[in-house]
Structure 1
Amino acid sequence: MKNILIASYDLEIGGVERSLISMLEQFDYENYSVDLKLYKHQGDFMPMLTNKVNLLKEVPEYATFRKSIVTLLKEKNYSIATSRILAKLQADIIGKIKRISEPGYYQMQLMWKYAMPFLPEIEKEYDVAISYLWPHDFVAEKVKAKKKIAWIHTDYSAIEIDEVRDIKVWSKFDYIVAVSDACKNAFIRKYPEFKYELIVLENLVSYDFIQAMSTVDVPNQFITDSRFKIVTVARLSHAKGIDMAVRALKLLKEKGYEEIAWYVVGYGGDEAKLIKLIADLELDKDFILLGKKSNPYPYIQASDLYVQPSRYEGKAVTVTEAQVLGKPILITNYSTSGSQIENGKNGLICEMSSFGIAKGIENLYLNRQKLKSLSDYNRKYSFVYEGKLTKLYDCIEVETEGLQKNELIGAI
């Protein structure tokens, strides 16, 4: 039986975390012994973690990644606090020099770089170590394993990072898993030297679980809202484009569409900015931030339209979940959108702007037959990717099967 390590940050609410829970639920525990390394044992998804996986003890040094600098200073963890301060200052400077709208990716890379000397190694040696969430420095530098695999969940053409450091880390991995073909292609365009290490493994979702969860904890106030209800499930961040959504609703209101309400399930660093924007545009009763919800499915199920207004995505788990629930869907034309929506068949793709989002919503609001046809298609089509862990098992077992890496990737 091979020993597998899977590493990620925590089990807070998010698409990556939901896909990790699904993967762990479906893992082959008869043939593999799986240890799970969470840097911090926290998150609303913790109770959903299967008892078949061995959750490793939380290590204080790694738990710091989910703590603020102020908290670290209060706890007298001066070395890692200093590394975090240096990372933030340097990232802010790089952001201003390069005019980067979201220097957070630089900051995360630098955070790991400066903290690395203060982080302990894992003593156990594994057959395979899997890093599920970028940055992948922990598995690259602090884990001993015969084979290493890392995941890509985002569109690499849309983020600004330190490419030299990124290449150094990626080079430590034998395989790189992208969550969609578009995600894979975007990564190859940036790093063609890794094209032979890449495979595609769709995010796993459970049809039965989503359907069952969509019928519990139904929010009465939401259900009784008789307006045309739009729902978005997303992190409140620049990447997810919620600010464009707010402005799109304002455009619709100015055109006289008073019977439209937009609900957002999620939380994040941009919450204060969005609350101010909503107030400034006088949309307090129409654009509603519902906050963190461990079960977003009743909101999706009760919606008239699901909208993903993102600036970039790898492959949005929430869109797949809305498809599973048979909802009509509108997404922006981020570079990987074509890997998730066949425009006009199982959803619509609109221009990535407040105007484009408003126009897309208006088209569907006025054309209820189109809205119904999108919904009908999604109800009939299977968007569930259960059983596709065989690709991952192939990577794990490739040497014992006598296959060469390039042959394996060509085969799958």
Structure 2
Amino acid sequence: MKKILIASHCMELGGAERSLLGILNAMDYHKYEVDLFLYRHTGELLKYIPKEVNLLPEDKQMSMLAIPFQNVIKKGQFSMALGRYRGKKKALQFNKENVNGKESMVMLDYSHKYTVPYVKKRIHKTYDLAISFLTPHYYVAEKIDAKVKLAWIHTDYSNYLLDIRSELQMWGKYDYIASISPKCTEGFLKVFPELKDKIVEISNINAENLIRRQAKDESAGDMNVESAEKCLCSIGRFAQAKNFDHVPRIAKKMLEKGMEFKWFLIGYGGEEALIRKQIKEQGMEDTVIILGKKDNPYPYIEKCDFYIQPSRYEGKAVTVLEAQMLGKPVIITAYPSSESQLEDGIDGVIVPMDDEGCAEGIVKVMGNLELCEKLIKNCKSRDYSNCKEVEKLYDLIRE
């Protein structure tokens, strides 16, 4: 049997992690032996890993990469503490010298770059294919033996501040780079044109059977609307990319246009305080409702009337595909990769990014019953699992 390793951070709630579950559920375990190496055995999605997958033991050193620094010291991992300290110091210096208004990924990159060299090699096995699923990709590049190495990109890299020279060295150690969409590829190659020949496009794979089963497993009892109100839902990390901080303003403009609805936000993250502040400032406490983290978000998608993705940028939003899979009218903003996310007017609608245009666009869709029925019908007739994409991984081994 061919041997495949997939390395990732953990299995906390997130689009990339759900996409990883999709891959694991699509694998042919009669032909492929799959080892999964998670840096931390944490996350609500751990329990959904297929039983055929060999989950490797947690590595004490690698588990130090995303926990509070004082805990690293308490656990006696002094070499990892030193690496993280060096990485943070150099990242702060780089960010200070290269301010360009974009969100920085340098702190994350350096946290791995300066600690992985201290990690002892513990997986003494040669794989036919080794996959590093989430950046930074230093561990698989430097500590794993494999005939073919593949690193994954999940977002539009043109939106971030990066240490391009440093990242080029990291990406250069891989035979292939998997991109989840053409626009994701375009954004990546704007920053790293030298890596064009390494790109292979592999769409997100969705575990359809698991998603449909989970959608029926529980109720969404805390998603309450009045009979005259439409139910809107958005899911994602509370981070700048998702643009949830603008939802209260958009919602207020929708109310002013006479639309009755409640908009539920499901997720967690560093911008929750900002979102709550905007809800209060716009007087949207009864309209925009934060439900927080949900281990199983699918009953909420199942219950909503419209799924909204108001993002500033995306690679390819997994939640949009999941909502389409569950037959929901989907409305997304015109982020750079939006046209590769759906067919506008066919299985979803793209609305302007600005608050006024976004509000007007959503209201128009909500008021167009014929269009809504068309979107639902088309979504229900299409296959959004993309399970055949796993063949592209097999092809890399065959080559």
Q: Same fold (TM over 0.5)?
A: yes
Q: What CA deviation, in whole Å up to 9, does each residue of 1:146-201 have, x standing for no partner? A: 21111111112222211111111111111111111222232233322222221111
Instruction: Note the 1:99-110 alignment, pairs <5 A.
Output: 99-101=99-101, 103-110=103-110
Decide whether the 8 Å contact of 1:92 with 1:103 is kept in 2. Answer: no
Normalising by structure 1, we get a TM-score of: 0.91
Normalising by structure 2, we get a TM-score of: 0.94
Decide whether the 8 Å contact of 1:91 with 1:103 is kept in 2. Answer: no
Query: Which 10-residue stretch deviates more, 93-102 or 170-179?
Result: 93-102
Query: How far apart, CA to CA, are the structure 2 residues paired with 1:12 and 1:229?
Result: 26
1:24 matches 2:7? no
Residue equivalent to 2:137: 136
Query: How far apart, CA to CA, are the structure 2 residues paired with 1:221 and 1:34?
Result: 39
Decide whether the 8 Å contact of 2:5 with 2:130 is kept in 1. Answer: yes
Task: Identify which of 244, 247, 263 aligns with 1:245.
Answer: 247
5+ residue gaps, structure 2: none
5+ residue gaps, structure 1: 399-412
Residue equivalent to 1:373: 374
Query: How far apart, CA to CA, are the structure 1 residues paired with 2:359 and 2:53?
Result: 45
Instruction: Note the 1:185-334 alignment, pairs <5 A.
Output: 185-223=186-224, 225-226=226-227, 227-257=229-259, 259-334=260-335
Decide whether the 8 Å contact of 2:6 with 2:35 is kept in 1. Answer: yes
Corresponding residue SS for 2:216: coil
Decide whether the 8 Å contact of 1:223 with 1:302 is kept in 2. Answer: no
Percentage of identical aligned residues: 39
* Aligned-residue offset at 1:44: 0.6
Query: Which 10-residue stretch deviates more, 39-48 or 99-108?
Result: 99-108
Query: How far apart, CA to CA, are the structure 1 residues paired with 2:76 and 2:284?
Result: 44
Corresponding residue SS for 2:371: helix
1:12 matches 2:19? no
Decide whether the 8 Å contact of 1:3 with 1:127 is kept in 2. Answer: yes
Query: How far apart, CA to CA, are the structure 2 residues paired with 1:248 and 1:380?
Result: 31
Distance 1:262 1:224, change over 3 A: closer
Corresponding residue SS for 2:291: strand
Query: How far apart, CA to CA, are the structure 2 residues paired with 1:97 and 1:215?
Result: 51
* Aligned-residue offset at 1:48: 0.5
Decide whether the 8 Å contact of 1:236 with 1:267 is kept in 2. Answer: yes
Distance 1:102 1:274, change over 3 A: farther
Amino acid at match of 1:241: N
Corresponding residue SS for 1:147: strand
Query: How far apart, CA to CA, are the structure 1 residues paired with 2:258 and 2:226?
Result: 19
* Aligned-residue offset at 1:95: 3.5
Decide whether the 8 Å contact of 1:95 with 1:103 is kept in 2. Answer: no
* Aligned-residue offset at 1:65: 1.8
Query: How far apart, CA to CA, are the structure 1 residues paired with 2:155 and 2:329?
Result: 24
Query: How far apart, CA to CA, are the structure 1 residues paired with 2:278 and 2:98?
Result: 27
Query: How far apart, CA to CA, are the structure 2 residues paired with 1:93 and 1:53?
Result: 41
Distance 1:165 1:298, change over 3 A: same
Decide whether the 8 Å contact of 1:95 with 1:102 is kept in 2. Answer: no
Distance 1:224 1:216, change over 3 A: farther
* Aligned-residue offset at 1:219: 1.8
Instruction: Note the 1:360-399 alignment, pairs <5 A.
Output: 360-398=361-399
Residue equivalent to 1:80: 80
* Aligned-residue offset at 1:71: 2.6
Decide whether the 8 Å contact of 2:264 with 2:290 is kept in 1. Answer: yes
* Aligned-residue offset at 1:88: 3.6
Amino acid at match of 2:41: H
* Aligned-residue offset at 1:97: 4.1
Query: Which 10-residue stretch deviates more, 171-180 or 96-105?
Result: 96-105
1:60 matches 2:60? yes
**CA RMSD, aligned part only?**
1.9
Query: Which 10-residue stretch deviates more, 274-283 or 248-257?
Result: 248-257
Residue equivalent to 1:404: none
Query: How far apart, CA to CA, are the structure 2 residues paired with 1:85 and 1:281?
Result: 41
Corresponding residue SS for 1:301: helix
Query: Which 10-residue stretch deviates more, 144-153 or 244-253?
Result: 244-253
Decide whether the 8 Å contact of 1:236 with 1:266 is kept in 2. Answer: yes
Residue equivalent to 1:71: 71
Query: Which 10-residue stretch deviates more, 2-11 or 193-202?
Result: 193-202
Distance 1:223 1:215, change over 3 A: farther
* Aligned-residue offset at 1:380: 2.0
Amino acid at match of 2:43: G
Distance 1:263 1:101, change over 3 A: farther
Corresponding residue SS for 2:58: coil
* Aligned-residue offset at 1:132: 0.7
* Aligned-residue offset at 1:361: 1.3
Amino acid at match of 2:349: L
Query: How far apart, CA to CA, are the structure 2 residues paired with 1:221 and 1:255?
Result: 26
Decide whether the 8 Å contact of 2:36 with 2:55 is kept in 1. Answer: yes
Query: How far apart, CA to CA, are the structure 1 residues paired with 2:198 and 2:358?
Result: 37
Decide whether the 8 Å contact of 1:131 with 1:139 is kept in 2. Answer: yes
Q: What CA deviation, in whole Å up to 9, does each residue of 1:93-118 have, x standing for no partner? A: 44444334454411111111221232
Amino acid at match of 2:178: V
Query: How far apart, CA to CA, are the structure 1 residues paired with 2:374 and 2:90?
Result: 51
Query: How far apart, CA to CA, are the structure 2 residues paired with 1:83 and 1:138?
Result: 14
Corresponding residue SS for 1:345: coil
Residue equivalent to 2:98: 98
Amino acid at match of 1:81: A
Decide whether the 8 Å contact of 1:95 with 1:101 is kept in 2. Answer: no
Decide whether the 8 Å contact of 2:220 with 2:303 is kept in 1. Answer: no
Query: How far apart, CA to CA, are the structure 2 residues paired with 1:123 and 1:366?
Result: 60
